[in-house]
């Protein structure tokens, strides 16, 4: 008798998701509570575990389908999986021979489907469709590549990195002399177009950001900040800090604590509009923008105003790791009264960040670069960073926004202010 696999509860107010990846295939053995599928919700990826041990019978939905909570996506047949395990998985398709000019660059769907899915003793490796295609196109043996994804699964980046390493370590082949003319090279300037369906997360990001532009009266105020004091503090205490707390002392904790000072002094920047009311918060929950495989996510560090520098750094590092591994939950993303986005890690010099509704403000950080500035009547070179505070002008006046950003700037330029609450 087959057991149905249903879409689990995805989180508060989340009723549907998209089938993003099958982690098992029909005919394969599965243990109880072992993930068989990955669903993409508006914010995070959710794995669907098997309710029982047995054999994957059939999928009732297709990859990319939208499914609702409680709907059936697969069936598990009774059995211990002996039959499935006894049959070796099909060997990976051989890589294209070097110098084979006639080989097509794009793998066929049949070749991709024939690649193994389940990691087992015979050397086969769990791969998503995108990873399978990359394996075939680049001629990489997946059993020789260490996966960095969740549970050691291969990612497309792993395959591309392996292909680059393979290319750099292999000497260029010497062409054999031949009286016949060489095959004509491909036409220069060849142009290709690829259509890829937006993930549910990317669709939600697009919808929310566009909605923020249409709903809020967005405005951005700028300032620049001398990072000398923070850099010197990090340099002086980084070793002791890391030894005591087991985490590096970064810039984000300084800006998070500086933001707490500003939000306490200017409550409107930490507030939000709810209908015809303004909701003020006496706590600071900061949404920290981090990069995930499927897009930018903003997990919430709660009660930052009550945390130490080490606690802030540990929380952010944990969220960053879980975002890369696809382990963030809906609860991690819920709430938040203010957002900090650090585009400087990607090299951004200046930007106008968009608020994260229903929040009313977001602080944008940028890269640090040496610039000449006037100090006490003299031109000196200092490590400077542009700060940008985007805000909803419906609730925050220009004076309040400028004041809040100025408080953050002063706290960074004189970190002692954060210690004595100035």
Active site residues: 393, 397
Alpha-carbon distance of 41 to 332, in angstroms, equals 14
The total number of residues written for the chain in this structure:
422
Q: Find, among 309, 293, 299, the residue nearest to 251 by Cα.
A: 309
């Amino acid at each position: 008798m087959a057991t149905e696999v249903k879409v689990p509860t995805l989180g508060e107010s989340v009723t549907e998701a998209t089938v993003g990846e099958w982690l098992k295939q029909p005919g394969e053995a599965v243990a109880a509570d072992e993930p068989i599928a990955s669903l993409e919700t508006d914010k995070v990826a959710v794995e669907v575990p098997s309710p029982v041990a047995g054999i994957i019978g059939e999928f009732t939905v297709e990859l990319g389908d939208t499914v609702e909570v409680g709907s059936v996506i697969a069936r598990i047949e009774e059995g211990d999986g002996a039959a499935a395990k006894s049959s070796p998985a099909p060997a990976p398709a051989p890589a294209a021979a070097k110098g084979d000019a006639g080989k097509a660059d794009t793998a066929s769907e049949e070749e991709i489907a024939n690649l193994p899915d389940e990691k087992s003793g015979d050397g086969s490796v769990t791969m998503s469709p995108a990873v399978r295609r990359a394996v075939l196109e680049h001629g990489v043996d997946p059993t020789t590549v260490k996966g960095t994804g969740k549970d050691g699964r291969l990612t497309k980046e792993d395959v591309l990195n392996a292909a680059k390493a393979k290319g750099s370590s292999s000497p260029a082949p010497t062409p054999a002399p031949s009286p016949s003319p060489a095959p004509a090279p491909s036409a220069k300037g060849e142009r290709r177009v690829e259509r890829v369906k937006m993930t549910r997360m990317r669709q939600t990001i697009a919808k929310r950001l566009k909605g923020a532009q249409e709903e809020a009266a967005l405005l951005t105020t700028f300032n620049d900040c001398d990072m000398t004091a923070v850099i010197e503090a990090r340099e002086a205490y980084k070793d002791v800090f890391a030894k005591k707390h087991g985490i590096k002392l970064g810039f984000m904790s300084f800006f998070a604590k500086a933001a707490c000072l500003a939000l306490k002094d200017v409550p409107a920047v930490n507030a939000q509009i709810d209908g015809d009311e303004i909701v003020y918060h006496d706590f600071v929950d900061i949404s920290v923008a981090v990069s995930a495989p499927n897009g930018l996510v903003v997990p919430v560090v709660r009660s930052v105003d009550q945390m130490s520098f080490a606690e802030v750094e540990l929380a952010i590092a944990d969220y960053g790791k879980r975002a890369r591994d696809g382990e963030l939950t809906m609860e991690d993303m819920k709430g938040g009264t203010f957002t900090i986005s650090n585009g400087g890690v990607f090299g951004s010099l200046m930007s106008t960040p968009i608020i994260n509704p229903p929040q009313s403000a977001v602080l944008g950080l940028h890269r640090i670069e040496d610039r000449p500035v006037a100090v006490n009547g003299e031109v000196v070179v200092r490590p400077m960073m542009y700060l940008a505070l985007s805000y909803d002008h419906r609730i925050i006046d220009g004076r309040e926004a400028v004041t809040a950003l100025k408080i953050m700037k002063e706290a960074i330029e004189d970190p002692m202010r954060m210690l004595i609450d100035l």
